[in-house]
Amino acid sequence: MLSDDERDLEQLGYRQQLLREMGGFANFAVSFSIISILTGAVLLFGYGLKFAGPLVNSIGWPVVSLFTMCVAASMAEIASAYPTAGGLYFWARRIGGWRWGWATAWLNMIGQVSITAGINLAAAIYLIGAVTHKPASWSAQLIVMVLILIPQIAVNLWGIRLTARLNDISVWWHIGGVLLIVISLAFFGRHHNSGSFLFSFRPSADLFESSKLMAIGDRAFPSPIFKLVPPLASLYKAAPVALLFVLSLLQAQWTYTGYDASAHLAEETKLARMNSAWGIVLSVGVSAIAGYVMLMVLTWCIPHGDVAATANDPYPVLFIIANNLPPLLSQIIALVIGVAMWLCGVASVTSMGRMWYAFARDDGMPGSRWLKRVSGRHQTPHVAILVTSALSVLLCLYAAAWFVVTSISTICLYLAYGIPILLKLRYGLKAEAPWSLGRWSKVVNGIAVLWIAIITIVFVLPPNELVLWTMLVFGLMLAAISLTDRRRDSHS
């Protein structure tokens, strides 16, 4: 006899193949672990500080949190209507037709690979700094990244039960880690700045100079965008407050990525229509509160209020902790953060593999015959997990700057988030959604789409210019393939 979840899945055109073992908390835990405030907010702390100073945390974080919650709530509503592993791709296909679903799938798949790359590269950079206290070469970072990735792959191949347990642990590990940092710095920190300092604008980056070169792999090239658009070069030389502030928001916005994992794991979640929706919303909400408290305390404890010294240190958060706390306590916190980053990577590999598996299940890409295979013993999409993990390493060989990798993942994922929301605004849902925004739905959906449009423009500007050209080439390739792929029209 079919359960309600299996019956829902059958009505959407699929049979139950993956092991349905996750409860509501485990579903929330996956997205919360991928957001990982101890990864994005920690590693991009200096990036945001350079552009806007303390203001990036006191004002920037809540601004991004508010708009991200609009995106998350809009996605949750659609997830409740279509509880499938394909998530965003299936939503766009069901509401707007095959071509929209196909484009969403590729954006989501590239975003998933790049966010996994960003997470594990961040962990590698951080762990090298925690051990050696100095920057390492790009090749050394890649080697450490691979060493971090291998056990994450092993955990995911073993099955969803082990992955779910680790994600449950990850939630409490992250919350405990935040409390440890906050309490330690608040009560034992040597440096506490004034309240006005927390809301001050103190940029330390030379915006124009830092944007003259565009790196591809290990090679750097003159930035073409300033030659193509001379007024933009003048704007960067003037470095207005508004421009610096919006560029700094990448710190918060990249942290808020990957929460679509709750949707991708719908076929492995019990009571998926409600639990997947709540998983998306609660992961953003809990991260917003915990992240804000942590960032404010870290900013409050910047040694001597020296923003430039902190922002320009290769490991700003470790710099703050080491200058405030005894060595043993500093080392314990460094270890807690490192483990949190590894757990974040585990969850990201889980989500990434499910997305690629779901698209391959519908024969949406080359190699679908192999990518859609599910292992008999552990009921995991093992081929998709292995292939996507390898691609995450290859991506880092192309984009040598870590913040470029984060920008690619942010833009690809948010475009994939935005397409089904935009389609819902235009056509409405074609299925019942037990989790609903009610009469506020269209307003929240509209705000979400507008915010995604804004950050898509902002995060392709220098110093993330490589993202602009990458996305243009990628968009042209998708358009060309879509126009020639006539056989898909019948599936719309």
Could you tell me the CA-to-CA distances from 194 to 199, 294, 454 in Å, in that order?
10, 17, 33
Could you tell me the CA-to-CA distances from 339 to 39, 120, 128, 326, 345 in Å, in that order?
10, 12, 13, 20, 10
CA distance 487 to 90: 18
Predicted confidence at residue 226, as pLDDT, reads 82
Q: Which residue has the higher pLDDT, 378 or 456?
A: 456
- Are 115 and 257 contacting, i.e. CB atoms less than 8 angstroms apart? yes
Task: Please provide the average confidence, as pLDDT, over all residues in the chain.
Answer: 86
Q: Could you count the other beta carbons within 10 Å of the beta carbon of residue 484?
A: 8
330-361 confidence digits (pLDDT tens): 999 999 999 999 999 998 898 888 888 888 88
Please return the burial class of 150, using the count of CB atoms within 10 Å of its CB with bins 0-12, 13-18 and 19+.
exposed
Angle subtended at Cα 280 by Cα 274 and Cα 286, rounded to the nearest 5 degrees: 115
3 state SS of 136: coil
- Are 379 and 439 contacting, i.e. CB atoms less than 8 angstroms apart? no
For helices 24-35 and 160-188, what crossing angle results, to 10°? Answer: 60
Tokens representing 2 are: 């079919």
Q: Could you count the other beta carbons within 10 Å of the beta carbon of residue 277?
A: 29
Cis (ω within 30 of 0) for the bond into 463? yes
Count of alpha carbons within 13 angstroms of residue 379, beta-carbon side: 11
In CATH, the number for domain 21-484 is 1.20.1740.10
Q: Where are the domains of the chain?
A: 21-484
CA distance 463 to 461: 6
Give 360-400 as a DSSP string: HHTT-STTHHHHT---TTT---HHHHHHHHHHHHHHHHH--
Residues 6 or more apart in contact with residue 233 via CB below 8 angstroms: 208, 226
Could you tell me the CA-to-CA distances from 461 to 58, 124, 250, 311 in Å, in that order?
24, 26, 11, 21
Q: What one-letter code names the amino acid at 120?
A: N
Radius of gyration of the chain (CA): 22
Q: What DSSP element (H or E) covers 169?
A: helix 160-188
Predicted confidence at residue 381, as pLDDT, reads 87
Q: What DSSP element (H or E) covers 415?
A: helix 402-427
Count of alpha carbons within 13 angstroms of residue 93, beta-carbon side: 25
Could you tell me the CA-to-CA distances from 29 to 24, 233, 460, 472 in Å, in that order?
9, 44, 31, 34
Output the pTM of the full model.
Answer: 0.87
Confidence of residue 57 (pLDDT cuts 50, 70, 90): very high
Say whether pLDDT at 67 is over 70. Answer: yes
CA distance 467 to 473: 10
How confident is the model over 353-380, as a mean pLDDT? Answer: 81
Give bridge partners of residue 213 from the DSSP assignment: 222
Of 256-265, 361-370, 371-380, where does the model show the most confidence?
256-265
Predicted confidence at residue 491, as pLDDT, reads 38
Q: What one-letter code names the amino acid at 154?
A: A
Say whether pLDDT at 2 is over 60. Answer: no
172-204 confidence digits (pLDDT tens): 999 999 999 999 999 999 999 999 999 999 887
Predicted confidence at residue 489, as pLDDT, reads 44
CA distance 250 to 45: 10
Closest CA to 163 of 149, 152, 174: 152
- Are 23 and 269 contacting, i.e. CB atoms less than 8 angstroms apart? yes
Give bridge partners of residue 215 from the DSSP assignment: 220
Predicted confidence at residue 217, as pLDDT, reads 53
Q: What one-letter code names the amino acid at 334?
A: A
Give bridge partners of residue 221 from the DSSP assignment: 214
Confidence of residue 220 (pLDDT cuts 50, 70, 90): low
Tokens representing 24 are: 């509501």
Give bridge partners of residue 222 from the DSSP assignment: 213
CA distance 136 to 125: 8
Residues 6 or more apart in contact with residue 219 via CB below 8 angstroms: none
Tokens representing 408 are: 């690619």
Predicted confidence at residue 166, as pLDDT, reads 87
- Are 229 and 468 contacting, i.e. CB atoms less than 8 angstroms apart? no
